[in-house]
Amino acid sequence: MQIGTLGRTSISVSRVGLGTMMLGEMIPPAEAKRQLSHAVERGINFIDTSEMYPAPLRPTTFGLTETLIGEWLSETGLRDRLVLSTKVVGPPPREVIGPTKTLAYIRDGKTRQDRANLRAGIEGSLRRLKTDYIDLFQPHWPDRSTNDFKKLGYVHDPKDRPVPIEETLDALDELVREGKVRAIGVSNETPWGLSRYLSASERQGKTRVATITNAYNLLCRTFEVGLAEFAHREDVGLLAYSPLAMGVLSGKYLDGNRPDGARLSLYPHPRYTSEAAQRATAAYAALAREHGVSLAAMALGFVAEQPFLVSSLIGASTIAQLDADIDASLTPLTADLRAGIAAIHAAISNPGP
Amino acid sequence: MSVRRQLGRSAIAVPPLCMGTMTFGRMVEEERAHTLMSLAADRGVDFFDTGEMYPAPAPDAESYGRTERMIGRWLKARGRRDELLIATKVVGNAPYTAHIRVGRNRLDRATLRAAIEGSLGRLGTDYVDLFQLHWPDRKTNAIMQLGYVHAAEDDPVPIAETLDALDELVREGKVRAIGLSNETPWGVWRFLDASERLGLERIASVQNAYSLLARSYEIGLAEFAHREDVPLIGYQPLAMGMLSGIYEDGALPPGRRLTRHPHARYTSPAARRATSAYVALARAHGLDPAEMAVAFAASRPFMASLIIAGTEPAQLEGSIAAASMPLSAELLAGIELIHRDNSNPSQ
């Protein structure tokens, strides 16, 4: 499989990475471990997780995905061959989608992106993952109020008093110097946040952000507006999450369908199901049909071939689906298909920010 | 026009509206241009934006500098230069600027110096209040392109070098403040970072397109406006007149901008669909569509000054009235619905 590097580090990752958000909940433990092993057999060397997984988020399952991965790592002895990424949660957002509606159960809600939180985050992750280092460690979302999830435009909150990015970076840098972390990244970030990290690194000689993990798919291409230029000019490439827009780009939810057992049937989420998103999904589905490919394959091929991308993080509920998703991600689109996608994007841009 | 805003961290306080002059010398002849400028100044719109390249559309060798000369004659006749704010721009490298300085328009020291000397001469003034780079030296996605596509580099002038040359013009007193135009977050950041690192003049503003049809500024740049004090000078709030509703159903009224000079920026099918929805919304609320469009853009918290244009005194009066017109919560919610359904059809 094609290999890329994380920013200006020497860490190499496969073009397709395994997203693990559903491991341990929708995908039961034994199946999850089979999936991890299968991913490695298929040439995936990059596994992305977070202390707060699995989704949907609840107090009783906090850390379960990392625990599972940790067990699997010690059972298989694969740790040194893999690039392992995890994330530390930030301040509880105002709106949490899911059964608990809150993240205040994590460290009693004391999850500002400050030194104490980052240290508590990494210590917990290392313990659960049964490893003494993380290859890529990321604040899961910014400490400040910004337009990271579901909001297309930035709306300023003058009352917000965020932890300075310089402080977060200093704490991350410390973890690198202690050997607990090899590289650092940001997630759900905006151009302003990323630029502050880069400036602070340069000025204070601190570890440089290597990657940015943001949502990127046919319904959400906001990365291209302001961040793709950073990816190219600053070597901070994209780790794309939700390349299938939570499964919406499989087409299975078209016309209001909610198939039994499917993710959005079990756990409804508004991010990719607005009216405009449904219209765009239908248009992409028709385009794929016209070209004799599946919508999911087209969607995954589109994400994986972007020049600013380092790795596309796929998640699958079965081994067969995982195989299909890997194959689709490694298949370049035809010029006709690209032109068709461009036309739909011009008509309905970013319906699922 | 009483509430002025500080332009970034500069010493300049601008009124909420700025008079655009791009069509002076093309669609608007000199006498009318002078009438419009006097009317604007009398009504508190004492901030004028021009560019060495104007008039537009269709800038060419014969028309180069004509708009600045027109403004210069008006300034001379009116006097009281210090009561007015004059902004101009230096062109960048592009096929359509090949007639300017024999096509040597990379944003280096020589270009910037030649441009400011030319502008000062034509404007008949010894300083401009705001000197802006009309567009970046590098290839980017600020105009008519939503997403950035990386091109094989054309060896752009380093931003630190451009900034150093701008800083020199400030220190010489030729320029009071500096700004960018048609910029992206990366470019804005690089200028800010270079100022801080090198102790050079800080950019005061970014002049980008902003209208109901083109709000991509909000995605990455609005956060810079608020957190870095680099506010927006928004241009084309009426999307070349589209948002006034005069081109609905494919109409091409004689003498109007898009009739005389067709342009793809705001006329795609998606832009027309969004336009119709905004026009209908305004009318449902008993508002003139153009006034709603101006009121919306002018009310954005990241907006330092909104560029208005017009060929008729009545249009100017309408925009001035609209700029201070409050929009109801219901109307704003209606705008957001249309935006959610059809965001940024134009760039």
Q: What is the ipTM of this complex?
A: 0.96
Count of the separate structural domains present in chain B? 1
Judging contacts by C-beta atoms under 8 Å, the chain B residues touching residue A217 are none
Kindly state whether A351 is in contact with chain B, defined as any CB-CB distance less than 8 angstroms: yes
Tell me whether residue B347 is in a domain.
Answer: no
Query: Which of A224, A225, A345 to mutate against chain B (most B CBs within 10 Å)?
Result: A225
Contact B186 A274 (CB under 8 A): no
The residue ranges of every structural domain in chain A are: 3-247+303-332
Q: Residue range B274-292: average pLDDT?
A: 98
Q: What angle do CA A190, A191, A195 make, to 5 degrees?
A: 120
User: Under an 8 A CB cutoff, do A229 and B186 touch?
Assistant: yes
| Helical residues (DSSP H) of chain B, grouped into ranges | 30-42, 66-78, 109-123, 159-171, 185-198, 217-220, 222-228, 257-260, 269-284, 289-298, 313-323, 329-341
Which range of residues forms the domain containing residue B333?
5-341
Burial label for A186, CB within 10 Å (0-12, 13-18, 19+), is buried
Q: Is B223 in contact with A230 (Cβ distance < 8 A)?
A: no
pLDDT tens, A192-224?
A: 999 999 999 999 999 999 999 999 999 999 999
Per residue in A11-38, pLDDT (tens digit) is: 999 999 999 999 999 999 999 999 999 9
B310 pLDDT band, cuts 50/70/90, is confident
pLDDT in tens, B166-187: 999 999 999 999 999 999 999 9
* B274 pLDDT tier (thresholds 50, 70, 90): very high
Question: Is B75 a member of any domain?
Answer: yes
pTM over 0.90: yes
In degrees and rounded to multiples of 5, residue A164 shows phi and psi of -60, 140
Q: Does residue B259 lie in a domain region?
A: yes
Q: How far is B160 from chain A (nearest CA, A)?
A: 15
Question: What pLDDT, on a 0 to 100 scale, did the predictor assign at position B152?
Answer: 78
pLDDT in the model for residue B154: 72
Q: Return the CATH architecture of domain A3-247+303-332.
A: Alpha-Beta Barrel (3.20)
Residue type, B129: D
Residue B23 Cα, gap to closest chain A Cα (Å):
29
Note the residue count of chain B: 347
- Whether residue B274 lies inside any domain: the answer is yes
What's the pLDDT at B1?
A: 57
Spell out which residues of chain B touch residue A349, defining contact as CB-CB under 8 Å: 146, 343-345
Chain B environment of A203 (Cβ under 8 Å): 197
Ramachandran angles phi, psi of B321, nearest 5°: -65, -40
Measure CB to CB from residue A192 to each of B223, B302, B344 and give the nearest one.
B223
Written as six digits, the tokens of B224 are 């810079």
φ, ψ at B338 (rounded to 5°) = -65, -40
For residue A172, give how far its alpha carbon lies from the nearest alpha carbon of chain B (Å).
22
> CA neighbours within 13 Å on the CB side: how many for A120?
16
Q: What is the CATH number of the domain that holds B188?
A: 3.20.20.100
- A346 pLDDT higher than 90: yes
pLDDT in tens, A266-321: 888 989 999 999 999 999 999 999 999 999 999 999 999 999 999 999 999 999 99
Would you list the DSSP string of B208-233? EE-BTTB-THHHHTHHHHHHHT--EE
**Averaged pLDDT score across all residues of chain B:** 96
What residues of A are in contact with residue B227 (Cβ under 8 Å)? 192
The pLDDT, as a whole number, for residue B2 is: 60
Query: Is residue A102 pLDDT above 90, yes or no?
Result: no
Residue B320, domain member (yes or no): yes
Query: What's the confidence (pLDDT) of residue B35?
Result: 97
Inside any domain, residue B43: yes
Q: Which residue of B lies nearest to A157 if distances are taken between CA atoms?
A: B226
Q: Looking at residues A46-53, what average pLDDT do you find?
A: 98
Q: Which amino acids of B are annotated catalytic?
A: 54
